[in-house]
Structure 1
Amino acid sequence: MFTRTSPSTGPKSPEVTGFYDPDTGSIMYVAADPATKKAALIDVVLDFDPAHARTRTDSAQEVLDFVAAQGLTVQWVLDTHPHADHMMASAWLKDQTGAPNAIGAKTRDIATLWAGFYNLPDAFDPDRDFDRLFADGETFRIGDLDVRVMLHPGHTLGSITYVIGDAAFVHDTLMHVDAGTSRADFPGGTSADLWNSLQSILSLPDDTRLFVGHDYPPVGDRQDPAWEATVAQHKAHNPHLAGKTEAAFRQLRDDRDATLSLPDRMLYALQVNLRGGRLAPTESDGNAYFKIPANKF
């Protein structure tokens, strides 16, 4: 797995290691407090083979192996939103580490929305499946590091950013600085909300390190995945934002989104992620089953 570490820049600044999952283009993160060796795991993937409807924990185990090798203690298992393109390893990581798992409070609204799409009115209960549902502005700690939660809808209606000192985990709002921004056409998402969220992110200090949720190389001449750039770099060089008005951004984003297909894991992933990374309860034969709506999207 391709990994890269962004070192701490001083007191109150986390060391951040990213792990690239090539199957989904996702980046998984370990954010660690160098002083206390406490860490949070952010947006870790539960591997899924759509052809065989089979899950594995290889990627999540690789993250845990890194944590053990670095002598870190997992204090939080965090997700930024219920992902559409991969399954979250939240429940498995909670079982392995004993750390509480968390996501944004508006996941409740996403669960209600998708319960309708799946015709599963009683399936999803985020209050049952997550230990914390963070509201906009809430704070908590990773070791001695202060963490602030910011609600940033657009990609989904409940996406949140974790700001840890000079690092911000901005999920599926921005792509890498040379690639632009993320789609806003999933149910509950809008380009208007995404624009407002991006402006909020870009109001952070210019030296804030922004860590994005996805990359899909090659991009231009760049062959390797990349996921870190500063606020200042995005302001100056992001092709979807630099010099763009809101109207121009929304037109660009909406036109682009109209050409995109649904992720191949989406209809599988959301019914797992809205259970905190758990499969549906097993049935009388001992197997769990996915429910996929036909001709819905």
Structure 2
Amino acid sequence: MSLSATNEPTNQELWRVESTSPSEPTIHAIFETNTGTWQYLVSDPASSSAVIIDPVLDFDRTTQTVSTRSADALLEMVKELGFNIEMILETHVHADHLTAAAYLQRHLPHTQGFKPPIGIGKRIEKVQTLFGQRYGVPLAEYTAVFDKLFDDDETFKIGNLTAMAVHLPGHTPDHLGYRIGENVFCGDSIFHADIGTARCDFPGGSARDLFRSGRKLLALPGQFKIWTGHDYPPQERGTPRPWMSVQEHREQNKHLKDGTTEEQYIALREARDAEMQAPKLLHQSLQINIRGGELPKPAQAGHRMLHLPMKFQSEEW
């Protein structure tokens, strides 16, 4: 596995939603097309304070090359907008893309020695232990790599804005959303209404938990915006969209719209998960992301190594 920085064009699309009041953020949503991931720059309109949510580090499976095109584009946007990044927020340990959190933390401007902390939910240590042992990751490489572990419903500041960490288990047990004004950045919980919700078949995942997390989100006032972690737009829609209102989800979400019972959802979700292929970057993502985005330490020969499990069709091997 190799690392490169490049000035090649990024595979990204951009949305911007302006603040409508001092208590509402300005939001830049940046869509990374290779993994279908929405990254977010969320800023306080009264100051230059901002946070980054779920940034992407690019990975080419063919060449096993990590590159920083998407992260460098975020750095350039932060510079152009004059933002002071107060924190880098992760909703969970992603299984479908590598996080750029550690790279951004290293390359964002540091004021008087301050570097923006990387925040995630307090249950992350169980997830790190599970996958650290599964992939043989040295304990020292994933211990204390996150700077801030949020409690459920813990509040924090982004300049003058008040934000809250909201526990949304189901896709993973540690999963968080971030409520900022009348917006919730829900990660891999709810997707666009024509997709429904995220899968629940990872270790510690639960369709029952995700249904209840979904109902928690849809109990918010109808005008609230739910900003998703991914989009995979079907052909008839074509264009990715980062948010839908709570009311739109109540009326349209194919998995969670009003009238759907818990048992109906569980049956539907578990049947769908049984048909799904593993994410293409599953093993690479988990091994990097439990490290907070740091790359593996070089082996004696100088290579940075990841472990990939093998499967055998013959039981007589």
Q: What is the TM-score normalised by the length of structure 2?
A: 0.89
Aligned to 2:157: 141
Alignment-derived partner of residue 267 in structure 1: 283
User: 1:111 touches 1:124 (CA, 8 Å); kept in 2?
Assistant: no
Letter in 2 for 1:89: A
- SS for the counterpart of 1:285 is coil
Correspondent of 1:200 among 213, 216, 223: 216
Match of 2:192 in 1: 176
Q: Is structure 2 residue 78 aligned with structure 1 residue 67? A: yes
In structure 2, the residue matched to 1:283 is: 299
TM-score under structure 1 length normalisation: 0.95
Work out the CA distance in 1 between the residues paired with 2:193 and 2:77.
27
Residues 91-116 of structure 1: CA distance to partner in whole angstroms, max 9, x if unpaired? 00111123111111111111121123
- Among 239, 242, 249, the alignment partner of 1:227 is 242
Structure 2: 5+ residue runs without aligned partners? 1-11, 109-114, 313-317
Structure 2: distance between partners of 1:139 and 1:39: 15
Root mean square deviation of aligned Cα: 1.4
In the alignment, the residues of structure 1 paired with residue 222 and residue 280 of structure 2 have an alpha-carbon distance, to the nearest angstrom, of 36
Partner of 1:76: 87
Counterpart CA distance in 1 for 2:311 and 2:141 is 22
Q: Name the residue aligned to 2:7.
A: none
The match for 2:262 among 246, 253, 257 is 246
2:187 aligned counterpart, secondary structure: coil
One of 34, 37, 41 as aligned partner of 1:23: 34
Deviation at 1:220, TM superposition (A): 5.2
- 1:113 alignment partner AA: L
1:268 CA displacement? 0.8
Q: Deviations over 1:121-158 (max 9, x none)?
A: 625535x2111011212111111011111111110110
> Which stretches of structure 1, 4 residues or more, deviate above 3 A after TM superposition?
123-126
User: How far apart are residue 167 of structure 1 and its match?
Assistant: 1.0
- CA separation in 2, counterparts of 1:121 and 1:280? 9
- Confirm or deny that 1:103 pairs with 2:114: no
Note if contact 1:80-1:104 (Cα within 8 Å) is conserved in structure 2.
Answer: yes
Does structure 1 residue 113 correspond to structure 2 residue 130? yes
Distance 1:19 1:104, change over 3 A: same
Q: Can you list the C-alpha shifts for 1:216-271, whole angstroms capped at 9, x where unaligned? A: 12x25211111211111111111111121111111111111111111110101101
CA distance in 1, matches of 2:205, 2:76: 35
Determine which of 42, 46, 51 is the counterpart of 1:40.
Answer: 51
1:171 CA drift (Å):
0.4
Tell whether the 8 Å contact from 2:215 to 2:256 is kept in structure 1 after alignment: no
Q: Any idea what SS the aligned residue of 2:275 has?
A: coil
The answer to whether the Cα contact below 8 Å between 1:16 and 1:31 also exists between their aligned partners in 2 is yes
The CA deviation at 1:62 is: 0.8
Aligned to 1:213: 229
**How far apart, in 1, do the equivalents of 2:103 and 2:25 lie?**
24
Higher radius of gyration, 1 or 2: 2
**Aligned twin of 1:90:** 101
Aligned residues with identical type, % of pairs: 37
**CA 1:184–1:102 in structure 2 vs 1: closer, same or farther (change >3 Å)?**
same
- 5+ residue gaps, structure 1: none
Distance 2:37 2:189 in 1: 13
